Structure 1
């Protein structure tokens, strides 16, 4: 237990940071606005350490400081996040651009508000014996994905497209989240994953592997916050407050990764090992950096997102061209 003098120093530091507008103060202790409402985030995953900035809300209160009660609805892929938002179970979808584009193609009225991870985090991993060194080498291979509605599948298809290949040129196998066992057991020749999934796999003895990074071929955003148009029109003030809470929580995790890693032990289902948590959190912090240096967190890079939409159209994953500028609204991004 901390000594009284230590607690006093902490309190003084927190007070000083709050008075100075510091981003890592415990906001809930200093601001008690009337709660504006509840926002349920429909996620693509279970409550894992990657999103510790959201899971740590009971301890840190970044959303509460903005008058927002936040909840998390787990999913199994970006498609789940979209479906749960369209059904009204979730207010905001934490989803990949591919799932967003495909929903738009079906006529859904959706808008992207915030770029969670502007840097692409997806990859394709194989054992050296498979001799997969370029996307073209994937032709005829069995490739694992987390789920058919996940960003692993969507980004795999983007990589195939860059090599002039189609989905029919490979065999896709659903292997589950962060699951390298099928690769090691020879059930697949390669598996689509993320940087954090690969980091955890290596910690668990994955061994030597060849890695193809999607960002080396098309650095399209990994995840966005997406809402229904009617929700945007009806709840702008609440959504603006939510985005401010998220940005503050993301800035905290970037500035205090060790504290976040410790809290992940308490809140994340995969957070039992603080050293692994720290590695995962640092990877997510890197992915959160804006595509244009100097821009604030959450800024959407229209040009790169448009390239992604064009790739999905060329792949035949969407049937009509999507003009990204028409389905992005940056007006709710926090000004500070």
Structure 2
């Protein structure tokens, strides 16, 4: 009887400890710039792989339509961390928001402007007077289009911007716009849907700034450093897995991503994101490390473009002390 009683007590203690461990998991909600799509498969497979759970983090995701949405959703308390582009980050800082960038998700610029061969749009200057599609007015497609226009001495006033929606090349194919700003993965999907012969102007050929960052408020950065460190460690684990296992990631995207029906296309999309996640800086210091000189160049370029009014000092707004060791 004593033996059984001891077993029951031990079971109760075990259950109590398990309950305590479950309660110890800190929730981190990511405000995304998109719906749950294939290119963020590493975030979508938490139920399958448990990268964040292993770090004591319960992961959540709030979809959005552009980097500006991601920041707004974070600022309104719907999320802990924003998955956003540098342009949206700069714009929020320019408005006086107290934010910090803590991880460089994609150090390579993945944005482009695409036009049909028949339009004879071959260089940024050819965009003058044209209708150009963007995902949304708060997306990195618009911000990077303005960067490209600057190369030809043009501004937003020299073109007509049309909101066409995410990954939507139909308006271009139907002649509703002369060109469309997109990403490398968007172009891949467009080609799979019969886009045909196109001219592609890659923004990285002019300014290879990061495409996306993890951004938090100053208050969150100060109050939740331990949680954020564990979140970033979980994210780096998930990204390292996707880089090392693109076939497994492509297969899981079939059930986790809203656009992931075709494993072969999934793999191509995933491979593009894997390539965008590495750079000379990340090779030296680990995934997520940010090139401060390039970031400063980007901030200066956005001010020169007139997209922001304030000077932004990289060392004031980029914090790399939360990054996990390489």
TM-score (ref. length: structure 1): 0.89
In the alignment, is the contact (CA less than 8 A) between 2:33 and 2:70 conserved in 1? yes
Residue 161 (structure 1) shift: 1.1
Q: Secondary structure at the match of 1:38?
A: strand
In the alignment, is the contact (CA less than 8 A) between 2:115 and 2:121 conserved in 1? yes
In the alignment, is the contact (CA less than 8 A) between 1:36 and 1:238 conserved in 2? no
The equivalent of 1:286 in structure 2 is 275
The equivalent of 1:142 in structure 2 is 131
In the alignment, is the contact (CA less than 8 A) between 1:34 and 1:67 conserved in 2? no
**Among candidates 304, 320, 323, match of residue 330 of structure 1:** 320
The equivalent of 1:174 in structure 2 is 163
The equivalent of 2:91 in structure 1 is 102
**Among candidates 61, 84, 87, match of residue 72 of structure 1:** 61
1:246 is the counterpart of 2:235: yes
Equivalent residues in 2 for 1:207-246 (5 A)? 207-246=196-235
- Alpha-carbon RMSD: 1.1
In the alignment, is the contact (CA less than 8 A) between 2:25 and 2:53 conserved in 1? no
The equivalent of 1:51 in structure 2 is 40
1:319 is the counterpart of 2:323: no
Alignment partners' CA distance in 1, 2:268 and 2:284 = 24
**Among candidates 197, 204, 207, match of residue 193 of structure 2:** 204
Residue 35 (structure 1) shift: 3.3
Per-residue Cα deviation, 1:170-221 (whole angstroms, up to 9, x for no partner): 1100000011110011110000000000011111111100000000000000
The equivalent of 1:301 in structure 2 is 291
In the alignment, is the contact (CA less than 8 A) between 2:24 and 2:56 conserved in 1? yes
Residue 294 (structure 1) shift: 2.8
Alignment partners' CA distance in 2, 1:282 and 1:252 = 12
Structure 2: gaps (5+ residues): 1-20
- Mean Cα displacement is larger for which, 107-116 or 155-164? 155-164
Q: Secondary structure at the match of 1:294?
A: helix
In the alignment, is the contact (CA less than 8 A) between 1:118 and 1:291 conserved in 2? no
Residue 103 (structure 1) shift: 0.2
Residue 72 (structure 1) shift: 0.5
Alignment partners' CA distance in 2, 1:313 and 1:286 = 29
1:264 is the counterpart of 2:226: no
The equivalent of 1:19 in structure 2 is none
The equivalent of 1:154 in structure 2 is 143
The list of structure 1 runs, each at least 4 consecutive aligned residues, that deviate by more than 3 angstroms after superposition, is 32-36
TM-score (ref. length: structure 2): 0.92
Q: Which has the larger Rg? A: 2
In the alignment, is the contact (CA less than 8 A) between 1:35 and 1:64 conserved in 2? no
Q: Secondary structure at the match of 2:284?
A: coil
Residue 47 (structure 1) shift: 0.3
